[in-house]
């Protein structure tokens, strides 16, 4: 077992999970190529890479750097509670939902969607906006609770505990 860990770099369970993950990804690729022509899939895949690496990555990296700079400058007067993840997490979840459902959210595949499912794309934009608002509201409440708890603990640390009465015998 030690030799395996030394040679592979991790335990055998890691290897099994990696092989299973590759098998699932391979099956997904096989199914995708059954449904669409390989050229269309390749165009979509390359477009996703270009869209992420050359458009989205600089945008969200810039937003992250700006938030980090604001926090470092002390423009936000709050105890040491990281606010960045309270914006990053709901934005990432909302963005993921948008990426998966954008044709329906933007109403682009209305006729195709209605023909396949018998339903319309009405309401997807409103529901996505409601989910996004809910995610940010929950995150804001969690952030407010964390700031309140940090301020309370900081104020409690500033006060001294009363000193015990002296034990002088009179």
* Contact between residue 88 and residue 76 where contact means Cβ atoms under 8 Å apart: no
Residue 64 lies in a domain: no
Give the domain range for residue 129: 78-154
* Contact between residue 63 and residue 85 where contact means Cβ atoms under 8 Å apart: no
Domain count, the chain: 1
Residue 9 lies in a domain: no
* Contact between residue 78 and residue 148 where contact means Cβ atoms under 8 Å apart: no
Residue 31 lies in a domain: no
Residue 18 lies in a domain: no
Write down the pLDDT at residue 170: 46
Question: Which are the contacts of 15, defined by CB distance < 8 A and separation ≥ 6?
Answer: 8
**Taking the chain (170 residues) in consecutive chunks of 10 residues, what is each chunk's mean pLDDT?**
87 93 94 88 89 88 81 62 81 91 84 81 92 96 89 68 50
Write down the pLDDT at residue 114: 81
Write down the pLDDT at residue 64: 78
Residue 55 lies in a domain: no
Q: Residue 11: how many CB atoms within 10 A of its CB?
A: 12
Residue 118 lies in a domain: yes
- Closest-CA residue to 124 (of 112, 109, 139, 135): 109
Write down the pLDDT at residue 20: 97
Write down the pLDDT at residue 157: 65
φ, ψ of residue 120 in degrees (nearest 5)? -100, 170
User: What is this structure's pTM?
Assistant: 0.54
């Amino acid at each position: 077992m030690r030799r395996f860990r030394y040679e592979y770099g991790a335990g055998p369970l890691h290897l099994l999970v990696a092989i299973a993950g590759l098998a699932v990804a391979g099956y997904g690729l096989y199914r995708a190529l059954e449904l669409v022509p390989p050229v269309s899939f390749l165009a979509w895949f390359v477009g996703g890479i270009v869209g992420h690496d050359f458009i989205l990555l600089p945008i969200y990296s810039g937003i992250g750097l700006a938030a980090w700079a604001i926090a470092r400058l002390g423009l936000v007067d709050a105890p040491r509670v990281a606010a960045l993840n309270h914006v990053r997490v709901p934005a990432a979840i909302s963005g993921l939902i948008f990426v998966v459902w954008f044709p329906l959210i933007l109403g682009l595949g209305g006729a195709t969607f209605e023909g396949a499912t018998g339903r319309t794309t009405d309401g997807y934009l409103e529901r996505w906006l409601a989910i996004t608002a809910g995610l940010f509201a929950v995150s804001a409440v969690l952030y407010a609770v964390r700031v309140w708890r940090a301020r309370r603990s900081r104020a409690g640390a500033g006060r001294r505990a009363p000193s015990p009465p002296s034990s002088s015998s009179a």
